[in-house]
Homo-oligomer: A and B are copies of this chain.
Protein backbone atom coordinates (compact mmCIF):
# COMPACT_ATOMS: atom_id res chain seq x y z
CA UNK A 1 0.00 0.00 0.00
CA UNK A 2 1.34 3.46 -0.91
CA UNK A 3 1.80 6.12 1.74
CA UNK A 4 -0.96 8.15 0.05
CA UNK A 5 -3.45 5.31 0.36
CA UNK A 6 -2.29 4.64 3.89
CA UNK A 7 -2.74 8.28 4.89
CA UNK A 8 -6.24 8.51 3.37
CA UNK A 9 -7.46 5.29 4.97
CA UNK A 10 -5.91 6.25 8.32
CA UNK A 11 -7.55 9.70 8.28
CA UNK A 12 -10.87 8.10 7.40
CA UNK A 13 -10.59 5.54 10.19
CA UNK A 14 -9.59 8.24 12.66
CA UNK A 15 -12.75 10.20 11.76
CA UNK A 16 -11.02 13.24 10.26
CA UNK A 17 -13.92 15.38 9.00
CA UNK A 18 -12.98 16.39 5.43
CA UNK A 19 -10.54 14.36 3.35
CA UNK A 20 -10.02 15.01 -0.36
CA UNK A 21 -7.94 12.45 -2.24
CA UNK A 22 -6.19 14.01 -5.26
CA UNK A 23 -5.19 11.89 -8.25
CA UNK A 24 -5.92 12.77 -11.90
CA UNK A 25 -6.24 9.07 -12.83
CA UNK A 26 -9.09 8.26 -10.42
CA UNK A 27 -12.51 9.71 -9.67
CA UNK A 28 -12.99 7.79 -6.42
CA UNK A 29 -10.72 6.45 -3.68
CA UNK A 30 -11.71 4.72 -0.41
CA UNK A 31 -15.32 5.67 -1.05
CA UNK A 32 -14.37 9.36 -1.34
CA UNK A 33 -14.51 11.62 -4.38
CA UNK A 34 -11.04 11.91 -5.90
CA UNK A 35 -10.03 15.27 -7.46
CA UNK A 36 -7.68 15.91 -10.39
CA UNK A 37 -5.87 18.73 -8.53
CA UNK A 38 -5.86 20.59 -5.21
CA UNK A 39 -7.37 23.67 -6.84
CA UNK A 40 -10.26 21.57 -8.16
CA UNK A 41 -11.43 20.81 -4.61
CA UNK A 42 -14.59 22.77 -3.69
CA UNK A 43 -14.35 24.74 -0.45
CA UNK A 44 -11.28 25.58 1.66
CA UNK A 45 -8.23 23.31 2.06
CA UNK A 46 -5.96 23.80 5.10
CA UNK A 47 -3.31 21.12 4.77
CA UNK A 48 -1.96 19.05 1.88
CA UNK A 49 -0.12 15.72 2.16
CA UNK A 50 2.12 15.13 -0.88
CA UNK A 51 3.57 11.80 -1.93
CA UNK A 52 4.48 12.12 -5.61
CA UNK A 53 8.00 11.97 -7.08
CA UNK A 54 10.32 14.89 -6.27
CA UNK A 55 10.43 16.09 -9.92
CA UNK A 56 6.74 17.07 -9.78
CA UNK A 57 7.07 19.08 -6.54
CA UNK A 58 6.92 22.51 -8.17
CA UNK A 59 3.72 21.66 -10.08
CA UNK A 60 2.04 20.60 -6.85
CA UNK A 61 3.19 23.76 -5.08
CA UNK A 62 1.83 25.93 -7.92
CA UNK A 63 -1.46 24.11 -7.51
CA UNK A 64 -1.41 24.63 -3.71
CA UNK A 65 -0.60 28.33 -4.13
CA UNK A 66 -3.57 28.73 -6.47
CA UNK A 67 -5.83 27.12 -3.89
CA UNK A 68 -4.47 29.24 -1.02
CA UNK A 69 -3.65 26.39 1.40
CA UNK A 70 -1.94 26.93 4.80
CA UNK A 71 0.58 24.07 4.90
CA UNK A 72 2.02 21.39 2.65
CA UNK A 73 3.62 18.21 3.99
CA UNK A 74 6.01 16.38 1.66
CA UNK A 75 6.30 12.66 2.41
CA UNK A 76 8.36 12.51 -0.79
CA UNK A 77 12.10 11.89 -0.35
CA UNK A 78 14.99 12.31 -2.79
CA UNK A 79 15.80 15.97 -2.12
CA UNK A 80 18.94 17.44 -0.55
CA UNK A 81 19.60 14.27 1.48
CA UNK A 82 20.38 12.47 -1.80
CA UNK A 83 23.57 14.50 -1.99
CA UNK A 84 22.68 15.66 -5.54
CA UNK A 85 23.14 19.35 -6.25
CA UNK A 86 20.07 19.72 -8.52
CA UNK A 87 17.85 18.42 -5.71
CA UNK A 88 19.24 20.92 -3.23
CA UNK A 89 18.45 23.66 -5.79
CA UNK A 90 14.94 22.30 -6.19
CA UNK A 91 14.48 22.62 -2.41
CA UNK A 92 15.43 26.30 -2.59
CA UNK A 93 12.86 26.92 -5.36
CA UNK A 94 10.20 25.14 -3.32
CA UNK A 95 10.92 27.31 -0.30
CA UNK A 96 10.67 30.49 -2.40
CA UNK A 97 7.36 29.27 -3.82
CA UNK A 98 6.01 28.70 -0.29
CA UNK A 99 7.12 32.17 0.81
CA UNK A 100 5.46 33.72 -2.28
CA UNK A 101 2.31 31.65 -1.83
CA UNK A 102 2.02 32.41 1.88
CA UNK A 103 2.02 28.82 3.05
CA UNK A 104 4.43 26.64 5.05
CA UNK A 105 6.22 23.40 4.09
CA UNK A 106 6.70 20.42 6.43
CA UNK A 107 9.55 18.14 5.31
CA UNK A 108 10.29 17.02 2.68
CA UNK A 109 11.24 13.41 3.48
CA UNK A 110 9.02 12.97 6.57
CA UNK A 111 5.68 11.61 7.79
CA UNK A 112 4.26 15.00 8.81
CA UNK A 113 1.64 15.71 11.44
CA UNK A 114 -0.12 13.63 14.08
CA UNK A 115 -2.58 15.76 16.05
CA UNK A 116 -5.00 13.50 17.92
CA UNK A 117 -7.19 16.42 19.06
CA UNK A 118 -8.27 17.11 15.45
CA UNK A 119 -7.99 13.44 14.31
CA UNK A 120 -5.10 14.25 11.96
CA UNK A 121 -2.83 11.22 11.41
CA UNK A 122 -1.01 9.37 8.64
CA UNK A 123 -1.16 6.02 10.40
CA UNK A 124 -4.09 4.04 11.77
CA UNK A 125 -2.25 2.62 14.78
CA UNK A 126 -1.46 5.71 16.81
CA UNK A 127 -2.89 6.29 20.33
CA UNK A 128 -5.76 8.66 19.36
CA UNK A 129 -6.69 10.10 22.80
CA UNK A 130 -5.05 13.53 23.18
CA UNK A 131 -2.35 13.90 25.86
CA UNK A 132 0.29 16.37 27.00
CA UNK A 133 3.47 15.07 25.32
CA UNK A 134 4.77 16.81 22.18
CA UNK A 135 7.23 14.93 19.98
CA UNK A 136 9.25 16.57 17.22
CA UNK A 137 11.15 13.99 15.18
CA UNK A 138 13.54 14.43 12.31
CA UNK A 139 12.95 10.74 11.46
CA UNK A 140 9.59 9.75 9.98
CA UNK A 141 9.98 6.17 11.20
CA UNK A 142 10.64 7.22 14.78
CA UNK A 143 7.72 9.71 14.70
CA UNK A 144 5.37 6.78 14.16
CA UNK A 145 7.20 4.01 16.02
CA UNK A 146 7.60 6.00 19.22
CA UNK A 147 3.89 6.76 19.78
CA UNK A 148 2.88 3.26 18.64
CA UNK A 149 5.23 1.58 21.12
CA UNK A 150 4.45 4.18 23.81
CA UNK A 151 0.66 3.90 23.56
CA UNK A 152 0.38 0.63 25.54
CA UNK A 153 2.59 2.20 28.24
CA UNK A 154 -0.08 4.87 28.79
CA UNK A 155 1.61 7.77 26.96
CA UNK A 156 -0.61 10.21 25.06
CA UNK A 157 0.33 13.08 22.76
CA UNK A 158 -0.62 16.70 22.09
CA UNK A 159 1.20 16.86 18.74
CA UNK A 160 3.76 14.72 16.95
CA UNK A 161 5.60 16.42 14.10
CA UNK A 162 7.99 14.63 11.76
CA UNK A 163 10.01 17.35 10.01
CA UNK A 164 12.60 15.47 7.91
CA UNK A 165 14.88 17.77 5.88
CA UNK A 166 13.54 20.85 7.75
CA UNK A 167 13.39 22.92 4.56
CA UNK A 168 10.97 25.49 6.00
CA UNK A 169 9.80 24.53 9.50
CA UNK A 170 12.79 23.34 11.47
CA UNK A 171 13.89 22.35 14.93
CA UNK A 172 14.08 25.91 16.34
CA UNK A 173 10.61 26.99 15.32
CA UNK A 174 9.08 23.74 16.55
CA UNK A 175 10.83 23.94 19.90
CA UNK A 176 9.75 27.57 20.35
CA UNK A 177 6.20 26.60 19.46
CA UNK A 178 6.01 23.69 21.95
CA UNK A 179 7.52 25.83 24.72
CA UNK A 180 4.52 28.14 24.45
CA UNK A 181 1.91 25.48 23.67
CA UNK A 182 -0.52 25.28 26.59
CA UNK A 183 -1.47 21.72 25.64
CA UNK A 184 2.10 20.45 25.92
CA UNK A 185 3.69 19.71 29.31
CA UNK A 186 6.54 17.46 28.18
CA UNK A 187 8.69 17.92 25.06
CA UNK A 188 10.38 14.96 23.35
CA UNK A 189 12.88 15.45 20.53
CA UNK A 190 14.56 13.20 17.99
CA UNK A 191 17.08 15.35 16.18
CA UNK A 192 19.91 14.63 13.74
CA UNK A 193 21.21 18.11 12.95
CA UNK A 194 20.92 21.75 13.97
CA UNK A 195 20.98 24.54 11.37
CA UNK A 196 20.90 27.71 13.47
CA UNK A 197 23.14 27.05 16.46
CA UNK A 198 22.52 30.20 18.49
CA UNK A 199 18.77 30.21 17.95
CA UNK A 200 18.59 26.55 18.95
CA UNK A 201 20.64 27.15 22.11
CA UNK A 202 18.31 29.94 23.14
CA UNK A 203 15.17 27.93 22.28
CA UNK A 204 16.41 24.91 24.23
CA UNK A 205 17.28 26.98 27.30
CA UNK A 206 13.84 28.61 27.30
CA UNK A 207 12.08 25.28 26.80
CA UNK A 208 14.06 23.56 29.57
CA UNK A 209 13.33 26.39 31.98
CA UNK A 210 9.60 25.74 31.62
CA UNK A 211 9.10 22.04 30.83
CA UNK A 212 10.98 18.76 30.92
CA UNK A 213 12.71 18.26 27.55
CA UNK A 214 13.97 14.81 26.50
CA UNK A 215 16.45 14.69 23.61
CA UNK A 216 17.50 11.71 21.52
CA UNK A 217 20.29 12.92 19.24
CA UNK A 218 20.89 10.64 16.24
CA UNK A 219 24.44 10.79 14.96
CA UNK A 220 26.55 11.06 18.10
CA UNK A 221 29.44 9.14 16.59
CA UNK A 222 31.34 9.65 13.32
CA UNK A 223 29.50 6.73 11.73
CA UNK A 224 26.11 7.83 13.00
CA UNK A 225 26.77 11.35 11.78
CA UNK A 226 27.73 10.17 8.30
CA UNK A 227 24.44 8.24 8.17
CA UNK A 228 22.42 11.21 9.46
CA UNK A 229 23.87 13.30 6.63
CA UNK A 230 22.47 10.84 4.11
CA UNK A 231 19.22 10.43 6.02
CA UNK A 232 18.02 14.02 6.43
CA UNK A 233 20.95 16.07 5.04
CA UNK A 234 21.85 17.08 8.58
CA UNK A 235 25.10 18.72 9.54
CA UNK A 236 26.31 18.89 13.11
CA UNK A 237 29.68 20.53 13.44
CA UNK A 238 30.42 19.08 16.85
CA UNK A 239 28.78 16.25 18.74
CA UNK A 240 30.42 17.31 21.98
CA UNK A 241 29.11 20.86 21.61
CA UNK A 242 25.56 19.55 21.22
CA UNK A 243 25.84 17.30 24.27
CA UNK A 244 27.31 20.11 26.38
CA UNK A 245 24.50 22.42 25.25
CA UNK A 246 21.92 19.86 26.42
CA UNK A 247 23.69 19.36 29.74
CA UNK A 248 23.91 23.09 30.40
CA UNK A 249 20.26 23.62 29.55
CA UNK A 250 19.20 20.62 31.73
CA UNK A 251 17.69 18.63 28.86
CA UNK A 252 17.45 14.88 29.54
CA UNK A 253 19.59 13.01 26.99
CA UNK A 254 18.79 9.44 25.85
CA UNK A 255 20.38 7.04 23.35
CA UNK A 256 17.49 5.39 21.50
CA UNK A 257 13.71 5.35 21.04
CA UNK A 258 13.14 2.83 23.83
CA UNK A 259 15.09 4.95 26.31
CA UNK A 260 13.10 7.98 25.14
CA UNK A 261 9.84 6.16 25.91
CA UNK A 262 11.18 5.03 29.30
CA UNK A 263 11.98 8.60 30.37
CA UNK A 264 8.57 9.82 29.14
CA UNK A 265 6.90 7.08 31.21
CA UNK A 266 8.89 8.17 34.27
CA UNK A 267 8.04 11.85 33.70
CA UNK A 268 4.35 11.02 33.22
CA UNK A 269 3.74 8.51 36.01
CA UNK A 270 6.64 8.37 38.52
CA UNK A 271 5.04 11.07 40.65
CA UNK A 272 5.86 12.97 42.73
CA UNK A 273 9.34 13.19 41.24
CA UNK A 274 11.93 12.05 43.79
CA UNK A 275 14.58 14.50 44.93
CA UNK A 276 16.75 11.71 46.39
CA UNK A 277 18.40 8.71 44.77
CA UNK A 278 17.31 6.08 47.33
CA UNK A 279 15.52 3.16 45.67
CA UNK A 280 14.08 0.03 47.28
CA UNK A 281 13.71 -3.07 45.10
CA UNK A 282 11.16 -5.78 45.91
CA UNK A 283 10.03 -8.93 44.10
CA UNK A 284 10.45 -12.68 43.86
CA UNK A 285 13.79 -14.31 43.00
CA UNK A 286 17.37 -14.18 44.21
CA UNK A 287 18.91 -13.84 40.76
CA UNK A 288 16.87 -10.76 39.76
CA UNK A 289 17.52 -9.28 43.21
CA UNK A 290 21.28 -9.60 42.82
CA UNK A 291 20.98 -8.14 39.30
CA UNK A 292 18.95 -5.22 40.68
CA UNK A 293 21.62 -4.60 43.28
CA UNK A 294 24.32 -4.36 40.62
CA UNK A 295 22.27 -2.40 38.10
CA UNK A 296 20.96 0.26 40.49
CA UNK A 297 24.46 1.19 41.62
CA UNK A 298 25.73 1.18 38.04
CA UNK A 299 23.08 3.67 36.86
CA UNK A 300 23.75 5.94 39.82
CA UNK A 301 20.84 5.22 42.17
CA UNK A 302 21.33 4.12 45.77
CA UNK A 303 20.00 0.92 47.31
CA UNK A 304 19.66 2.51 50.73
CA UNK A 305 20.00 0.04 53.58
CA UNK A 306 16.79 -0.62 55.53
CA UNK A 307 16.81 0.30 59.19
CA UNK A 308 16.81 -2.57 61.77
CA UNK A 309 13.26 -1.56 62.69
CA UNK A 310 12.04 -1.78 59.08
CA UNK A 311 13.87 -5.10 58.64
CA UNK A 312 12.21 -6.51 61.74
CA UNK A 313 8.78 -5.47 60.47
CA UNK A 314 9.50 -7.10 57.11
CA UNK A 315 10.63 -10.35 58.72
CA UNK A 316 7.33 -10.53 60.58
CA UNK A 317 5.44 -9.78 57.37
CA UNK A 318 7.36 -12.11 55.05
CA UNK A 319 8.75 -14.87 57.27
CA UNK A 320 9.88 -17.59 54.89
CA UNK A 321 13.02 -19.51 54.00
CA UNK A 322 15.01 -18.58 50.92
CA UNK A 323 14.04 -14.93 51.29
CA UNK A 324 16.38 -11.93 51.42
CA UNK A 325 15.23 -9.32 53.95
CA UNK A 326 17.54 -6.53 52.94
CA UNK A 327 17.31 -4.15 49.98
CA UNK A 328 16.68 -5.64 47.40
CA UNK A 329 13.97 -7.56 49.19
CA UNK A 330 13.23 -11.07 47.90
CA UNK A 331 10.40 -13.23 49.25
CA UNK A 332 8.13 -15.74 47.55
CA UNK A 333 5.03 -14.38 49.28
CA UNK A 334 5.52 -11.01 47.58
CA UNK A 335 2.86 -12.24 45.16
CA UNK A 336 0.03 -11.85 47.71
CA UNK A 337 -1.71 -8.49 47.17
CA UNK A 338 -2.06 -7.76 50.91
CA UNK A 339 1.60 -8.66 51.49
CA UNK A 340 2.61 -6.34 48.63
CA UNK A 341 0.53 -3.51 50.08
CA UNK A 342 1.91 -3.93 53.61
CA UNK A 343 5.49 -4.32 52.40
CA UNK A 344 5.33 -1.16 50.31
CA UNK A 345 3.79 0.75 53.21
CA UNK A 346 6.57 -0.35 55.58
CA UNK A 347 9.40 0.38 53.13
CA UNK A 348 7.80 3.56 51.76
CA UNK A 349 7.62 4.97 55.27
CA UNK A 350 11.40 5.00 55.52
CA UNK A 351 12.93 8.45 54.92
CA UNK A 352 15.94 6.81 53.21
CA UNK A 353 13.73 5.43 50.43
CA UNK A 354 12.68 7.85 47.68
CA UNK A 355 11.06 5.32 45.32
CA UNK A 356 10.19 1.62 45.16
CA UNK A 357 10.61 -0.83 42.26
CA UNK A 358 8.55 -4.02 42.02
CA UNK A 359 10.02 -6.46 39.48
CA UNK A 360 8.33 -9.38 37.71
CA UNK A 361 9.56 -12.03 35.27
CA UNK A 362 7.51 -13.49 32.40
CA UNK A 363 8.69 -16.99 31.74
CA UNK A 364 7.87 -19.28 28.86
CA UNK A 365 4.51 -20.69 29.86
CA UNK A 366 4.32 -21.85 33.44
CA UNK A 367 7.57 -22.04 35.35
CA UNK A 368 6.73 -23.22 38.88
CA UNK A 369 3.04 -22.53 38.46
CA UNK A 370 3.66 -19.29 36.55
CA UNK A 371 0.95 -17.45 34.67
CA UNK A 372 0.04 -16.32 38.17
CA UNK A 373 0.59 -12.62 37.43
CA UNK A 374 -2.32 -12.50 34.99
CA UNK A 375 -4.59 -14.64 37.19
CA UNK A 376 -7.69 -13.40 39.02
CA UNK A 377 -5.87 -14.20 42.24
CA UNK A 378 -3.18 -11.63 41.48
CA UNK A 379 -3.86 -9.08 38.79
CA UNK A 380 -6.75 -6.88 39.91
CA UNK A 381 -6.13 -7.03 43.65
CA UNK A 382 -2.38 -6.50 43.15
CA UNK A 383 -2.94 -3.53 40.80
CA UNK A 384 -5.25 -1.96 43.34
CA UNK A 385 -2.81 -2.69 46.19
CA UNK A 386 0.01 -1.07 44.25
CA UNK A 387 -2.15 1.93 43.37
CA UNK A 388 -3.29 2.35 46.96
CA UNK A 389 0.19 2.03 48.46
CA UNK A 390 1.48 4.54 45.88
CA UNK A 391 -1.20 7.04 46.93
CA UNK A 392 -0.53 6.52 50.62
CA UNK A 393 3.27 6.59 50.65
CA UNK A 394 3.28 9.39 48.04
CA UNK A 395 6.50 8.17 46.42
CA UNK A 396 6.91 6.66 42.94
CA UNK A 397 6.06 2.94 42.67
CA UNK A 398 7.87 1.61 39.60
CA UNK A 399 6.89 -1.57 37.78
CA UNK A 400 9.79 -3.47 36.15
CA UNK A 401 8.30 -6.12 33.84
CA UNK A 402 10.71 -8.63 32.30
CA UNK A 403 10.84 -9.34 28.60
CA UNK A 404 8.67 -12.22 27.40
CA UNK A 405 10.08 -14.77 24.97
CA UNK A 406 6.97 -16.63 23.82
CA UNK A 407 3.31 -15.88 23.08
CA UNK A 408 2.05 -17.04 26.49
CA UNK A 409 4.61 -14.88 28.28
CA UNK A 410 3.82 -11.91 26.03
CA UNK A 411 0.09 -12.34 26.60
CA UNK A 412 0.65 -12.32 30.34
CA UNK A 413 3.04 -9.36 30.20
CA UNK A 414 0.58 -7.28 28.14
CA UNK A 415 -2.31 -8.06 30.51
CA UNK A 416 -0.23 -7.08 33.52
CA UNK A 417 1.01 -3.94 31.75
CA UNK A 418 -2.54 -2.88 30.81
CA UNK A 419 -3.78 -3.35 34.38
CA UNK A 420 -0.91 -1.34 35.88
CA UNK A 421 -1.18 1.42 33.25
CA UNK A 422 -4.88 1.70 34.06
CA UNK A 423 -3.91 2.39 37.69
CA UNK A 424 -1.59 5.18 36.56
CA UNK A 425 1.60 3.24 37.36
CA UNK A 426 4.83 3.64 35.38
CA UNK A 427 5.68 0.39 33.56
CA UNK A 428 9.20 -0.40 32.29
CA UNK A 429 10.56 -3.46 30.50
CA UNK A 430 13.58 -4.42 32.58
CA UNK A 431 15.18 -3.76 35.95
CA UNK A 432 18.04 -1.89 34.26
CA UNK A 433 15.75 0.29 32.12
CA UNK A 434 13.68 1.25 35.17
CA UNK A 435 16.79 2.36 37.03
CA UNK A 436 18.27 4.19 34.06
CA UNK A 437 15.09 6.21 33.40
CA UNK A 438 14.70 7.12 37.07
CA UNK A 439 18.35 8.11 37.45
CA UNK A 440 17.88 10.54 34.55
CA UNK A 441 14.64 11.97 35.94
CA UNK A 442 16.09 12.43 39.44
CA UNK A 443 19.15 14.25 38.04
CA UNK A 444 16.87 16.49 35.93
CA UNK A 445 14.42 17.17 38.77
CA UNK A 446 17.12 18.13 41.31
CA UNK A 447 18.16 20.95 38.99
CA UNK A 448 14.72 21.84 37.62
CA UNK A 449 13.10 22.18 41.04
CA UNK A 450 16.01 24.19 42.43
CA UNK A 451 16.17 26.73 39.60
Q: A residues engaging B (CB < 8 A)?
A: 1, 3, 6, 53-54, 76-78, 81-82, 109, 123, 125, 139-142, 144-145, 148-149, 151-152, 190, 192, 218-228, 230-232, 255-258, 285-298, 303, 321-322, 324-328, 330, 361, 363-369, 403-407, 410-411, 414, 429-430, 432
Contact = CB atoms under 8 A, between A and B. Distances in A.
B218 A367 contact: no
Given A142-B287, A148-B405, A365 B125 contact: yes
Given A54-B321, A368-B1, A410-B410, A298 B221 contact: yes
Of all A-B residue pairs in the complex, the 6 with the closest CB atoms, nearest first, are A78-B321, A77-B322, A224-B293, A224-B294, A139-B287, A221-B297
B82 A224 contact: no
A139 B222 CA distance: 41
B406 A403 contact: no
Copies of the chain in the assembly: 2
25 contacts: A1-B369, A53-B321, A78-B321, A125-B363, A125-B366, A140-B287, A141-B287, A151-B364, A152-B406, A190-B287, A219-B290, A220-B294, A221-B294, A221-B297, A221-B298, A223-B296, A227-B324, A227-B326, A228-B290, A230-B324, A231-B290, A255-B295, A256-B432, A258-B403, A407-B411
Given A257-B287, A330-B231, A293 B219 contact: yes
Contacts of A151: 364
Contacts of A123: 367-368
Given A230-B324, A325-B230, A139 B290 contact: yes
A109 B3 CA distance: 58
A161 to B, nearest CB: 15
Contact of A78 (B76, B292, B296, B322): B322
Contacts of A325: 230
Given A3-B368, A77-B322, 4 more contacts: A219-B293, A231-B289, A407-B410, A410-B410
A294 B230 contact: no
Nearest to A364: B148
B303 A223 contact: yes
A3 B293 CA distance: 27
A432 B151 CA distance: 23
Given A141-B286, A293-B223, A6 B432 contact: no
A320 to B, nearest CB: 8
Nearest to A230: B324
Contacts of A1: 368-369
Given A321-B82, A364-B151, A224 B290 contact: yes
A33 to B, nearest CB: 25
Among A145, A258, A298, A404, chain B packs the most CB atoms within 10 A around the CB of A145
Contacts of A77: 321-322
Contacts of A3: 368
